[in-house]
Structure formats: structure tokens, C-alpha cells
Structure 1
Amino acid sequence: MTQAEPTAGFATTQLHAGYVPGTPEFTVLPPVYQSSAYAFSSLTEAREKFALREKGYIYSRNNNPTQAVLEQRLARLEGGVAAAAVASGQAAVALATLALLGRGGHIVAASQLYGGTVDLFDDTFRDFGLDVTFVDQDDLDGWRRAVRPSTRAFFAESVANPIAQVLDISAVAHIAHEAGVPLVIDNTVATPFLLRPRDFGADIVVHSATKFIGGHGSSLGGVVVDLGTFDFSAEPEKWPGLFVPHWRYGDVSLWEAFGRERAFTTLVKSKFVGDLGPALSPFNAFQLIQGLETLDLRVSRHVENAKAVAAFLDAHPSVGVVFHPSIETNPWRARAETYLPKGSPSVFAFELAPSDEDTFDRVERVIDALRTIRLVANIGDARTIVAHPASMTHNHMTPDQLAAAGISQGTIRISVGLEEAADIIADLDQALARA
């Protein structure tokens, strides 16, 4: 049925009148396709789409036209071939790595990761029978030593949260490829405006689109981007999910059906999003698209403000160390010049100067004294926000894991926003007087 006939009854009219599926409206902005499902013109069309033999929309858990716009734009910005948008950044990390690990797989991951990623790899994945080895991201021999026959992926952040270590992507990618596995990069902090991991050898990128891509702290979302650089077909036995024919796909393999450009993201969406359900809502996809349209303008301002704030903190007598690559003494400064020529990201950390007082009490006084800056468990917001990683975002990590990530009780993470830099600095100045 399309549009209801004029003589239709009340209940039929209230369900069908005024809308014909597929009618173009020529809107300049991507519409919010707020629909859970999609009409088929025939049972044959439905059968072919469900069997993945024909492209198209079936059900919004798997795909949605608004979501598809977000996927295509981020794939282009990252230089990739395809993308899969999901419900959150955590979902993006989980599904990208699950699709690679298969049964009994092993992942080598940097120790310097967001706390939620450490929880996922070190707790939940181990419950699934999957294993992880954490290594110092700057220890290249450590990456090599950690490789096993069951290793299926390397994972790291391009700029680590919260200490802003800059990864030597090219070197780690080289080691990953020697081991015959892809390098997965979480590029949330850097964004594709400041850094494209593909240019340095990475194979898959994940984002928490909740952060800088959305940019306003309003919507959760995540994206997995296949950069199209890793040749899974070189060792197909490692990737049964891509190469073993499966009854779910008409007894053909995803690689055969979708090729190098779409096989991996089809696996992510058709199996893992479809089965586990972390779907991105159409409205959130729409809001993330709106944020994405100003990404370069916002990130440029974030970078400019962060550099000014970092310089102020570095000169302040109550601050012991500032972990921002723009600082002269920062150990990742030279690497940032290679990987981040447009400037270093606005998410970094600092520590208060040593004192005989209890460290947490001093940190608490400073944070609680802030007036403009908000205490929020987020980054990449238009507003400047702070967090105390050891008791908030990384609180589940063991003391050894915190130390490996460079986090202490005195570490304060700041995500510098879009306010006037002078106002951010003034707020920090009056709060630091409490230290």
C-alpha cells in the first residue's frame, strides 16, 4: 500500500495519508529518517535485501539513510573505503576488534588508553575467552615481543587520553604488518582534521563521534572506518568471518560478495551490530552530521586555545608538569611536529606541583573552585571541561595500569573548549590559587 485512498476509514487514514515512501523532497540538509523499518516493493526485493544480494535499507538496527550520510562523510575524511556508524565510541572499539579477533583471538594494545577501553579489553574480552597484552606504546620491541600466533590486531590511540602521548603510527604499523595483522587506531582526540592515520600506515580507524565530531556534548555515537589498506586475503585462514562461506549470507563469503572495500564493515554491521544491537539512532546521526560540518573550524579554535592554556599552566608555580606536545620539554614534541603539523589537540593533562599536603585534597580544592570550567566525564565539547582520571574515567584501572598510562592521583585532564582563552585562563588562575 502507498498513500491511503480518500474514502479510507479513519484508522487507515491516520496511518497512511500524506506520505508515499520514496518521495523525494530535495532538502539541502540530510533529513532525519526517523523510521525503524523500510517498505519493500515486493517479496522478491525483501528476500534479496535480507540475503545481502541487493543493496538497500531493511531495518534501522542495521542501517539508516541518515546514518549512511555520516558514514560516507567520515570515510572520505579519513581516506577510507567504507564506514560503519554505531551507538557510541565504546561500541565502535568493541565491534571493530571483535570482528577481527574471532574465536580465541589475541590483541596487542597500548597501555596508554582510555579507561573504558582498558576495561573492555582486560575484563570483558577475557570473559569472552579473548586475550590482550598491553605494552608501552613507545616500546617498539615490546610490540614485537607481544605477538603470538593467535594475534589478530594491534590497537592504540593516535593521541592518548589523557596524557596526550603521540603515537609513532608508522613504526607501530610496520611491526603490525610484519606480524600479518592490521593496526587499529582510535583517532578520537586528534580527529581527521589534525591527523589521518591512513597516511602513516594504519588500517582501521575508530572514533567516539560523541566527542569532537559531534562537538556539543549532545549525542552519543561511534564510527568504524575501514581504510582499505590491509589485505586480509593474504592469509584468509586468519579471518574466517570474512572468508568462510556462511549460511547467513547465502553460503558465500563476505569477501566474495562485497570485496575488499565493503567486506569488513559489512561484517561489523550485519553480524555484530545486527546481533548485539548497538545501533545509532537516526536523530543522533543527524546531530553528529551537523557537528561534523564545522569540525575544521572548531578544532582550529580548540587547538589555538589549548596552546595558550598549556603555556599558562606551564608557567604557573602551582603546576608541576603539563602534558601538552606544544611545551618545549614535552617528550612527544618532535613527534607531534611530524604527525600533527596543524597543531596539537586540546585534550591533555597537567599535575599540581609537589606538596606535603594530600594530593587528592589539593586536586579537589582546585576542581571545586572552577566557575566557568565544568567537571564533566567527556572530552571534545564546545565547553572547557575537566576530569580527575584516577577517580573518574580511569577509576577501574589497577595502580600498575594507572602508572603505565602515566596517570597519578595528581593528574587533572582538561579538554579546552571554544570560550575566550583569556576567560579559561582566568578561571584556572583563580582555582589554582587554592592549591
Structure 2
Amino acid sequence: MSDGPTHGFDTLQIHAGARPDPATGARQTPIYQTTAYVFRDADHAAALFNLQEVGFIYSRLTNPTVAVLQERIATLEGGVGAVCCSSGHAAQIMALFPLMGPGCNIVASTRLYGGTVTQFSQTIKRFGWSATFVDTDDLDAVKGAIDENTRAIFCESIANPGGYVTDIRALADVADAAGIPLIVDNTSATPYLCRPIEHGASLVVHSTTKYLTGNGTVTGGCVVDSGKFDWSASDKFPSLSQPETAYHGLKFHETFGPLAFTFHSIAIGLRDLGMTMNPQAAHYTLMGIETLSLRMERHVENAQKIAAWLEADDRVDYVTYAGLPSSPYSERVKAHYPKGAGALFTFAVKGGYEACVKLVNALEIFSHVANLGDARSLIIHSASTTHRQLSPEQQEAAGAGPNVVRLSIGIEDANDLIADLDQALAQASA
């Protein structure tokens, strides 16, 4: 099918990138479980390796099943191309890899998944990179953190764990003025609730493990390229604007234009970092995306109902769900996230750390796991798990204090979920 503007989201989530298999007529995208592909002849092989022709060489770089997923996610996000990889964490490194060099830095939101904070504050130092963390609601602080070595701003559209919603347009304006890309992690919102490229983002990353797959079966990541950033406007991005010695002096931006970042991420990133998505994982994610809009509608509906119930409960100190009328982000949700504020949020339990532990242990329907975005409802005490490596100050800044638990609301019966929380809170407060 033609992925034109006349097709709606519900159609594209099923059809984008997929065509009947030309050899067999199979309607569902096959799992191409192969490592390598036969070249037509020596000239064909040389053209592929020289990036003069698009095709399949080796599954570390490209695979037909993964290619369908890449096209589908790029279409849903409104990007020109995408590169899938082995996990959301891999996607973050893949997004930064063409932009960074020793001595370079990024400006990152304080409201990020704990593993991302650790990756940015600790691990990337081994590459000679660094990160400055700021409250992205404070635009003056964002501007003040940018210096001549800054290569990107990084945020989450709906932040994990607290469910805070980001004003992407405001951050994009700051990034544009500084001549650097805005990278938005859209895992928690998905393109059904938010399309960051429409608000000015240059790159979008996903942990496809979460809502896109939706069933907790496989890990994966994706980087979507808007195709709108001018990588040659300055000398800040030599990997994309300057000659690449590994390809006989080819300049990616000059040669591939809007697809420069995508081609670089495959030809250099996947080639040398090797953070490849396997075709079976791509297959599971493709099947999950087919029901994305239906699931997200139920996720949001349930989250709205459960958050309101928790907010009215005397055993709860506060609820961070941005979809509540009482939230300081409620107007932002109406303006930028009209289909809802997602299904991820936290609430503070009276009784602190010990009460949180009792609550988690008493739940029966909610699963206590280090994941989110599943069809099942999930809970975790972030301070003792996903954000455990952070300092108390970092935990508080991220919205993961010791008295806080994170909920990922699934698509079960909302009344059953409320009953489960009710009995668990009774035990936690006993």
C-alpha cells in the first residue's frame, strides 16, 4: 500500500512497511531467520558495500523483517527513516553516536528513567562524553547549560516514572536557537499519544520493549530520524558532514540528504557497535503495533479512573498523573497530548518506604516487575530497584523518592485493579 497522508493511524499501524511476501504471498511479515543474503554478482556486492545501492548484506546491518518494523515506526512517528536495535538503552547510544566525540556533552532532563540517568551520568564518561542534568520546565536553566561543546538536548515526552509531560515545542525552540538537535524518548507516550517530530524534535527514540510491543516478550529499541536537521550547518557534526574515511571520503549528509542520520546509523553504528535487533523480536513488535491504538485507549481510560480513585484515598499522599484536573500539567496535556496523558504515573504512600514494600508484596493482580507498557498492570518501588543506583537527591529529582511507587496501568478491568490496590493499601497501612 501507499503510506500516503490519506491513511489514518489505525490503518498505518497495521499496513505501513508491509507487503505480501513476493515469493509465497504470505500476508503476515515473515521472520527472515538468516544471517546473510546471496548477491546477484560481484558488481552487486560491491555496490552494496559502497552504499551505492540499498539492499541486504548481513543481518547485523539489515534484515527484511526488521526493515518492515523500521518503516512502520518511522511512518507512525512522521519520520523519514528509522533504525531498530537491541534495546531502548542501545537506541540511546545509537542516537548519540553520530553526534558526539570526546569532550562533547548533552543537556538532559532530570526527569528520566533511572537507567538512563545512570547511562548518561556514568557510562558515557567512558566515551569521553558527559551530560548536564536540568529541569526542562526551566527553559533558562536549559539555555544556561548549553555551551560550545553541547551536541543535543535529551528528554522524555512522558517521563518515567512520574508521568510528567514535557513541552516539546519549547525545548525544540531552545535547541534550534543553539543549532543542536532535540532528542525525545517517546516510549511512554508512543506515536499514538504524541508525535514529537510535529513539535520540533529532530530525533525520536523508543524502547520498543514497552508499549509498542505491548506484551512483555522481547526487548528492542528504535531511533527515528525526522530528516529535518541540517547536519552541515556548522562544524559540530563531522561524522555526518565531513568525509568518512571508511567509505572513501563519502559525506553522509551531502550524499543522503534527509536520510543522512539513518544511513550513518546503519553503515557505521550497527556495523561497528553491533547492537542489532533480531528478526523474531521485530516480528513480535510488528504484531504488537497492530493493536497499539486500541491498547493505548484502554491504558489511558484505566489510568484516568485509577489515578482519580487513588487521589481521593486518605492512605495516599499524592498522585502524579498528569491527566488529573489537579495536575500542574493538565493544561499542557490538553494542548499537546489531547488523546491522554498515558498510563504511567507514581503515587506516594503514607507510611513511607516500609509501607511501599508492604503494598508491593500484598498486590495480587499487579505484577511486581522492572518493566512498563505491558498489557498487564505493573508496579515497582523505584527507589529500591530501577533508581537504586541514584543518590537520594537524584531520586527525588526524578520523582522516585522512597515513599513512591510507580504504576504502569494495563488493560484489565479497572474495577478489579482498584479492588487490588484497595486491599493492598489496607495491608500497607495496617
**TM-score when scaled to structure 2?**
0.93
1-structure distance, mates of 2:139, 2:371:
30
Alignment correspondent of 1:342: 339
Q: Map residues 204-353 of structure 1 onto 2, 5 A cutoff.
A: 204-235=203-234, 237-260=235-258, 262-353=259-350
Please say if residues 51 and 248 of structure 1, whose CA atoms lie closer than 8 Å, have aligned partners that are also in contact.
no
1-structure distance, mates of 2:47, 2:228:
30
- In structure 2, give the amino acid aligned to 1:243: S
Instruction: State the Cα distance separating 1:327 from its structure 2 match.
Output: 1.8
Rg comparison, structure with higher value: 1
Please say if residues 242 and 253 of structure 1, whose CA atoms lie closer than 8 Å, have aligned partners that are also in contact.
yes
Alignment correspondent of 2:132: 133
- In structure 2, give the amino acid aligned to 1:299: M
1-structure distance, mates of 2:335, 2:133:
25
- In structure 2, give the amino acid aligned to 1:309: I
Q: Map residues 96-107 of structure 1 onto 2, 5 A cutoff.
A: 96-107=95-106
Alignment correspondent of 2:359: 366
1-structure distance, mates of 2:141, 2:305:
35
2-structure distance, mates of 1:54, 1:272:
18
Alignment correspondent of 2:7: none
Instruction: State the Cα distance separating 1:316 from its structure 2 match.
Output: 1.1
Instruction: State the Cα distance separating 1:36 from its structure 2 match.
Output: 0.8
2-structure distance, mates of 1:250, 1:287:
38
- In structure 2, give the amino acid aligned to 1:67: V
Q: RMSD in angstroms over aligned alpha carbons?
A: 1.2
Alignment correspondent of 2:4: none
Instruction: State the Cα distance separating 1:257 from its structure 2 match.
Output: 2.3
2-structure distance, mates of 1:135, 1:273:
31
Q: Map residues 181-192 of structure 1 onto 2, 5 A cutoff.
A: 181-192=180-191
Instruction: State the Cα distance separating 1:98 from its structure 2 match.
Output: 2.0
Please say if residues 87 and 280 of structure 1, whose CA atoms lie closer than 8 Å, have aligned partners that are also in contact.
yes
- In structure 2, give the amino acid aligned to 1:393: T
**TM-score when scaled to structure 1?**
0.92
Q: Map residues 153-192 of structure 1 onto 2, 5 A cutoff.
A: 153-192=152-191
Instruction: State the Cα distance separating 1:326 from its structure 2 match.
Output: 2.0
2-structure distance, mates of 1:95, 1:38:
25
Deviations 1:250-305 (A, max 9, x none): 32111122122x11011112212211111000000011000011100000010001
Alignment correspondent of 2:6: none
The secondary structure found in structure 2 opposite 1:233 is coil
Range that drifts further, 326-335 or 113-122 = 326-335
The secondary structure found in structure 2 opposite 1:225 is strand
The secondary structure found in structure 2 opposite 1:350 is strand
The secondary structure found in structure 2 opposite 1:302 is helix
Instruction: State the Cα distance separating 1:102 from its structure 2 match.
Output: 2.8
Identity over the aligned pairs, expressed in percent?
A: 45
Instruction: State the Cα distance separating 1:30 from its structure 2 match.
Output: 0.8
Q: Map residues 420-435 of structure 1 onto 2, 5 A cutoff.
A: 420-434=413-427, 435=429
Alignment correspondent of 1:389: 382
Alignment correspondent of 1:13: none
- In structure 2, give the amino acid aligned to 1:382: A
Provide structure 1 residue ranges, at least 5 long, that are not aligned to the other structure: 1-21
Alignment correspondent of 1:142: 141
- In structure 2, give the amino acid aligned to 1:338: A
Please say if residues 232 and 240 of structure 2, whose CA atoms lie closer than 8 Å, have aligned partners that are also in contact.
no
The secondary structure found in structure 2 opposite 1:34 is coil
Instruction: State the Cα distance separating 1:23 from its structure 2 match.
Output: 6.6
Please say if residues 168 and 335 of structure 1, whose CA atoms lie closer than 8 Å, have aligned partners that are also in contact.
yes
- In structure 1, give the amino acid aligned to 2:61: N
Provide structure 2 residue ranges, at least 5 long, that are not aligned to the other structure: 1-20
Instruction: State the Cα distance separating 1:122 from its structure 2 match.
Output: 0.6
Q: Which runs of 4+ in 1 moved over 3 A?
A: none
